[in-house]
Structure 1
Amino acid sequence: MRWKARLIKHHHTDRIAVEFERDAELIRRIKLLDDARWNPQKKYWHLPDTAENRERFKLIPKQDTEPSAEGQEHLVKFGRWLSAKRYSASTIDTYKQALRVFLVYYRKKEVGALTNADVLDFNNDYILKKNLSASYQNQVTNAIKLYFRTVLDTQIETDKIDRPKKPKTLPNVLSKEEVKNILEAHYNIKHKTMLCLIYSCGLRRSELLHLKPEDIDSQRNVVLIRQSKGRKDRITPLSAKVLDLLRQYYIAYRPQTWLFEGQRSGEQYSEQSLQRVLKLALEKAKVTKPVTLHWLRHSYATHLLESGTDLRYIQELLGHSSSRTTEIYTHVSMKSLQQIKSPFDDL
């Protein structure tokens, strides 16, 4: 186990403290959890004390955390199958942990005897009873469907397992004026260039940090994004203004391995440092909204749509596998909304 978790009190509130040695992947994953905070004095992350987080960090009795010997063999087999299919290490870990929860719940039953009724009971008597989130339920359901469809011949009919309905939320979008204020807040050329590149190319945080100097094609004015989400390569147009910033930055810093490096040459810039860059920009720009780096990506897509860019091109630029993912930006675009006249104005 790469981390240790324990229950704590933080400002008279029940929390879970998670400690681990510096690990960029673990830091990335814990930041995705709701209300995850870093305590710089005590050097640990802490999260709300919820049933889901207790499950996630195994803060339940030991005898309830391990599947049967048979179940453990199936987890090993699942991991080997995922590795052979070239899934990323983080995806493999996520799928295995999700399947483990299901196998732990039925640790007293033979895996080959499990049925669709058991899956239904698990969702009702475990997921819903513990008030775990729909996204967590979806994660476990995906793992169950993938494993029993591809690895094991059992009584479970995966095609008849339904995923939970996802809550429909809209992406957070900034106005062009807000984006401009944030991007112009930094005088440091490195910090300014990173934020400008995220917005101007619609990059994910990890995509920016994994860029290498050779990924910037100044002749064709494009950025090559290698092996991003879903192990896909894609290219995105490079703004002439951002290219000028990149040239200034390159002359000043001369990066070696990564386009943006930490304090030591060849060391990848950390996600935590990038978060601080954004936080400082928000303070300087006097933006009080809880902006994250992903808001810049959402804003890029929405602003493209409002300027008349075809949705199919936006899908390609963002690297979305499904057009339905990209279509969500039509719900936050102001271009069509502003043309609608309220009947109140005619009263």
Structure 2
Amino acid sequence: MRMLISDAANFFKQARYSSGTDQAYRKKFLHFAEFLAYKLALPKEKIDLERIYVLKDKNGEIVTYKPLDHRIIDEYFHTLSSTYSMLKQTRKFLSSFFRYLERNYHFKNPLLNMTFNLDDIKPTIRQSKALTRHEILKIHHVLVQQSENLVRDLLLFCLLFSTGCRRSEILSLQVWQIDYDNNSFKLVNTKNGRQRFVAMMENMGTLIKRYCILERINDKDYIFRQANEKPMTPYHLKKLLDSCCEKAGVGKFRIHGIRHSFATVLYESGVQLPLIQQLLGHQDMSITKQYIHPNYTRNYGIHIKENEELFSRIKRIYLEKN
């Protein structure tokens, strides 16, 4: 017997997910369990994955049972009205769960034969832009001019642009994670579920310490907070960045593009790929390579007055000679 609830409990017990991923996956499981319970007209606690289909003879006597298969999985995905990213996360969770059952109990993985294709609803991916050094300075210049909470916002932007950390990693930073003596901080909730230490710019730790003292931010408090002392959300960060980009004339820019900018500037400065990979927290080098943008792409459409004048003179000389 493969009781759904007990198998799921064992699965989560052995899994090594970050707290955020664990919470998200538990919600996915609960939703899937409720779907099965409704379809089978059974309490979740009585769902046996090896007895999903009941085969009876002409007299109505039970002959045998059949396990959960891809038809149920396909039906479940067709009932979901989520975004592509949420559907992808659901499939990722179910894949991990059924691989666990297959590996430990030889339960046939139903996702291997599913016909629902996520690629059919996959949106067009917008390529993240990598900013030039000049554009990064322009954004910070605008921030200094318009910010209503200058110290907080400067610390936030400096950490994002100088560490290459994900927005979730910076926005979730608490005071206790900062190592002032070594000018670094500890990440505990990374995308890969692994802890790592991140080095900061010189004196950044001292500045954060002073800021926390002035704002009376305690060890268990989030460093970057709103006026109501609640943690700053990705929405508020995006709104702030969009405003700065618009006034700096940079154009629309995704927050994730900060990581692309970080990797590109490092590479242009002569930093080797393995180190950039480590700083970004990537497991695969091929992903890191996608974060580095060539100059001819990043500087496309940029017009420099001095260059235009020089080109005009060269063009004039060439035409006179020919």
User: Do the two structures share a fold, i.e. TM-score over 0.5?
Assistant: yes
Q: Is the 8 A contact 1:115 1:155 kept in 2?
A: no
Q: Which has the higher contact order (CA 8 A, sep 6+)?
A: 2
Map of 2:315 onto structure 1: none
- Deviation of 1:197 (Å): 0.9
Q: Is the 8 A contact 1:306 1:335 kept in 2?
A: no
TM-score scaled by structure 1? 0.59
Q: Deviations over 1:258-294 (max 9, x none)?
A: 32234356x53444433333234334424331x2322
Unaligned stretches of 5+ residues in structure 2: 42-50, 54-64, 145-149, 300-322
* Equivalence map 1:223-242=2 (5 Å): 223-240=185-202, 242=204
Instruction: Choose which of 295, 311, 331 in structure 1 pairs with 2:257.
Output: 295
231 and 273 in structure 1: CA distance in 2 versus 1, 3 angstrom threshold? same
Amino acid at match of 1:277: L
Structure 2 distance, partners of 1:179, 1:164, is: 36
Map of 2:143 onto structure 1: 186
* Equivalence map 1:197-208=2 (5 Å): 197-208=159-170
Structure with bigger gyration radius: 2
Instruction: Choose which of 295, 317, 322 in structure 2 pairs with 1:334.
Output: 295
Secondary structure of the structure 2 residue equivalent to 1:185: helix
Structure 2 distance, partners of 1:274, 1:146, is: 32
113 and 179 in structure 1: CA distance in 2 versus 1, 3 angstrom threshold? farther
Q: Is the 8 A contact 1:173 1:299 kept in 2?
A: yes
- Deviation of 1:137 (Å): 5.4
Asked if 1:82 corresponds to 2:24, the answer is no
Q: Deviations over 1:201-230 (max 9, x none)?
A: 112222112223343334333232223223
* Equivalence map 1:197-346=2 (5 Å): 197-240=159-202, 242-243=204-205, 245-246=207-208, 249-250=211-212, 252-256=214-218, 257-263=221-227, 267-289=230-252, 291-330=253-292, 332-334=293-295
Q: Is the 8 A contact 1:202 1:297 kept in 2?
A: yes
Percent identity of the aligned residues? 23
Asked if 1:156 corresponds to 2:108, the answer is yes
* Equivalence map 1:8-87=2 (5 Å): 74=4, 77-78=7-8, 81-83=11-13, 85-87=15-17
Secondary structure of the structure 2 residue equivalent to 1:224: strand
Q: Is the 8 A contact 1:99 1:143 kept in 2?
A: no
Map of 1:110 onto structure 2: 52
Map of 2:47 onto structure 1: none
Instruction: Choose which of 76, 83, 92 in structure 2 pairs with 1:142.
Output: 92
Secondary structure of the structure 2 residue equivalent to 1:151: helix
More helix by share: 2
How many residues align? The count is: 262
- Deviation of 1:173 (Å): 2.0
Secondary structure of the structure 2 residue equivalent to 1:184: helix
Q: What RMSD in Å do the two structures reach over aligned CA positions? A: 4.2
More strand by share: 1
Point out the more displaced range, 180-189 or 81-90. 81-90
Structure 2 distance, partners of 1:277, 1:336, is: 26
Q: Is the 8 A contact 2:183 2:204 kept in 1?
A: no
Q: Is the 8 A contact 1:204 1:297 kept in 2?
A: yes
303 and 147 in structure 1: CA distance in 2 versus 1, 3 angstrom threshold? same
Secondary structure of the structure 1 residue equivalent to 2:261: helix
Instruction: Choose which of 159, 171, 176 in structure 1 pairs with 2:128.
Output: 171
Structure 2 distance, partners of 1:93, 1:157, is: 19
TM-score scaled by structure 2? 0.62
79 and 178 in structure 1: CA distance in 2 versus 1, 3 angstrom threshold? farther
Structure 1 distance, partners of 2:76, 2:14, is: 31
- Deviation of 1:329 (Å): 1.8
